[in-house]
Amino acid sequence: MKAITRKPLTKRIGIFAVIFAMILTLSAPMTSFADPGPTIPNGTTEGSITIHKLDQGTSTPIPGNGTTQQIPTGANPLNGVTFDYIKVVPQGDANKTGNVLFTSDNVDYYKDSTDVTGSGTTADLSGAGHGDGAIYWDSLPLGLYLIHETPLNGYTQVSDFIVSIPTTIHGSGEDTLEFDVQVYPKNSNIGIEKGAADPADTTPADGTDLTDSLPVAVGDTVDWFITSQIPSGYAYVAGKTAYAVTDAPSTGLQFTGALEVRLNPTVKGANDGTPLALGTDYTVDPAAGPYTDGGDVTITFTPARLALFNAGDTIQVKISTVVLDSAVIATGIVNEAGLEYSNKDGDKYTSDTGDDSPKVFVGGLSLIKVDGEKSTALGGAKFKLVEKSSAIFDDDLAQNGYFKVGGVDAVATSGNDGYFEFKHLPYGLIDEEAATATGKDYWLVEIDAPSGYRLIGTPIVVTVDGDSYNDALTLATATNDQIIENFPGFEFPLTGGMGTLIFVVGGIVLIGLAGIVIASTSRRGKAQKDAR
């Protein structure tokens, strides 16, 4: 029989001490943030983190405890937020590396040298990741994880936070450990929206006819509605809380000085809600004109008004601009809006309309005038336009008159190269970009023909769209739709050859002979009458 050899007691104590030290190393960082409870994991070495990203809206935040929570009414999953994670260890841990990342309860924490990290994971509401589009990180070693959120335009950024795997779940009388931890970081929307009021809207007060793209002409006034909301968790602290809205038009748009600010309108674009007062509730920069082409206008709310705002309040700014002749033809003129918000802690957040900024479009028309017989460029032809709203030109002329730009009839005259153009004309119906605009029709009317040519008798229908203006158009590059023909006029007598002169002289001789015959007949009749 093989003899049984007993190890010395001191050696066995050393082994237990090592095991105990390992347990302490695992549990210490967790107890700094979440008490792991009395149960030690039996064979479990991994866990997971699920981040449910929410737009808090105006709902009341609910405290998370690591388990699945009921999403409060008014909060919605938020798409496009990106998170990173990094495993951390406390000071004294053999795996610590680098500089101190943060300090909690007077304990410094460092990156884990095992380099357990993840970056660039983005919330996807398609549900492709885990459940309702939430972020899911699986097979994570037990320990502490520092989570960082990348800012999303239009939302307050959640501060870095710690997640412990496992997390202690305190029950009634018995605590448990949760290895699949559920996290619900909440964001407040500080987004800003903007739309243009359609001048054709006959009832603008109902707020239903805001658009992201609008056809305009030079001289038109465009009203813009900028809407933002006071974020959840809002509180006013003097010297820290701030709120300012900026209108940032592009070249071709100029602030008119007309501006209204309203609190809690019924719908976007409505002319109701509580009017706020200049000076008392807000200031405007620049405070007075003259205003610059494409110049920003900033509305900053006063401390007195900031102290009265409540979370969820809607702020609407109505601002007017005029379209200038500096507007670039066939290119959308963007009018962006921006928001700067500082919370009670002085943390500053910004948001802007970015790619969702509305645009106005100014169109143009490029054409070539030619001799219809020789197909050569023809200068000196003068044209006007009439907006086409029916199939009958005379009716449209009577109703609409000649089209005006800046209050004056739009007139174009062909040059020696035949080229002529109309600028600053409205498009038709518009999508997001100039190239996708639906054309708007006009009657092209020749009002003065070149010398030796006759007027075009019938108005021509032309279309203004994203491709109708090209200031580099030439006779060589023009299409049939871009060429306007004129034909020589009828020759006036005596201006032709001798053949014509012969006929004219012959006609005069015949007329003279006829007169002689008539006169002779008249005298003969009178003589016969006297003889009787």
pLDDT 10s digits, 145-190: 999 887 776 677 777 889 999 988 887 677 888 899 988 877 666 7
Residues contacting residue 7 through CB under 8 Å, at least 6 positions apart: none
Tracing tokens 């009414």 back to the chain, one arrives at: 73
pLDDT at 420: 97
Record the pTM.
0.62
| Strands annotated E in 251-381 | 253-263, 274-275, 282-285, 297-301, 314-323, 333-342, 348-352, 359-361, 363-371
pLDDT at 256: 96
What is the token pair recorded at 325?
Answer: 């002749």
With beta carbons less than 8 A apart as the criterion, state whether 227 and 191 touch: no
Tracing tokens 């305009």 back to the chain, one arrives at: 216
Tell me if residue 259 falls in helix, strand or coil: strand
Cα distance between residue 339 and residue 273, in whole Å = 21
Cα distance between residue 414 and residue 185, in whole Å = 66
Are 29-187 and 192-360 equal in CATH topology? yes
What is the token pair recorded at 503?
Answer: 């006929």
pLDDT at 17: 34
Q: How many CA atoms lie within 13 A of 150 on its CB side?
A: 12
Segments of the chain with pLDDT less than 50: 1-39, 129, 432, 434, 491-505, 509
pLDDT at 361: 84
Cα distance between residue 341 and residue 180, in whole Å = 36
- For 78-140, give the DSSP string: -SS-EEEEEEEEETT-TTEEEEEEEEETTEEEEEETT--EEEEEE--TTSSSBTTTBEEEEEE
pLDDT at 412: 96
With beta carbons less than 8 A apart as the criterion, state whether 80 and 187 touch: no
pLDDT 10s digits, 223-271: 999 999 888 778 899 999 999 999 999 999 999 999 999 999 988 778 8
CATH architecture for the domain at 363-486: Sandwich (2.60)
**346-379 core/surface letters (b: 16 or more CB in 10 A; e: else):** eeebbbbbeebbbbbbbbbbbbbbbbeeeeebbe
Tracing tokens 């380099």 back to the chain, one arrives at: 115
Domain boundary assignment for the chain = 29-187, 192-360, 363-486
The CATH class that applies to domain 192-360 reads mainly beta
Q: What number does CATH give the domain 29-187?
A: 2.60.40.10
pLDDT at 496: 44
